[in-house]
Structure 1
């Protein structure tokens, strides 16, 4: 069992943990907040797990994300600072979102959901534009539909 701390946030949408990676200022917190609100609007369970820093732990065949203790239940709202938010202590990471400049994302990728390795475990990953939260939310919605076709639309 190994543990690492990474520069990423995590939300839980329905039963799925979604790790959001990106550079500082790329919109990790904004996308996390938009995903949580979109899920709630559909009546789905959603909550913050971590913002900006996530602890990743290998638990056999799963990667579990949590927040470092001093950051639990806190999310950065640009211009307002750290704000309290309902949170879950941990989530199994079922998908990774990488926020990148739009020019770095293929328009028609051969494999839209490539795998990345977290703590030795392969997890599907999606690249989304860092400067467009609405478009990113739409791509995440479609990715969740592809990954979990028999589940409800959480977003």
Structure 2
């Protein structure tokens, strides 16, 4: 039996946690078929193409998860507002990933780029919810997104190429 507290502070937090679990449900349901469709073996991409694909995946996954959350919550937010915020956030994350790729200079497979974009979105969204960054400023969320994309670009080759770094 769940206890529901009807104050604005707690109901917004509960709504956000429910939206996060809905996003995770979508991810769990549709991630594996998408990765199977993206399985390109042995293709080496340059840094600009990798960063562009990461940005595109980040925008697509962010739009799907945010639109689903808005739709399920019944909030009156126009689709163009979601598109604009997702594109802007995707470009910020893509810039962080590009700078990280410039530093590390290693290729990442397309399926790993898709996984990393979902990872960066979910981690930045969860961190922003936990720390209350959405209430502080949108720029605080963008900074977290940029830093996480940068660090992910630095660490991803070591995660996915374990035999090279052992």
Query: Do both share a fold (TM > 0.5)?
Result: no
Instruction: Please tell me whether Structure 1 or Structure 2 has the larger radius of gyration of its CA atoms.
Output: 2
TM tier, smaller: under 0.3
> TM-score w.r.t. structure 2 length?
0.25
Q: Which has the higher strand share?
A: 1
Query: TM-score normalized by structure 1?
Result: 0.26
Q: Give the number of the structure with larger relative contact order, counting CA–CA contacts within 8 Å between residues 6 or more apart.
A: 2
* Larger relative helix fraction: 2
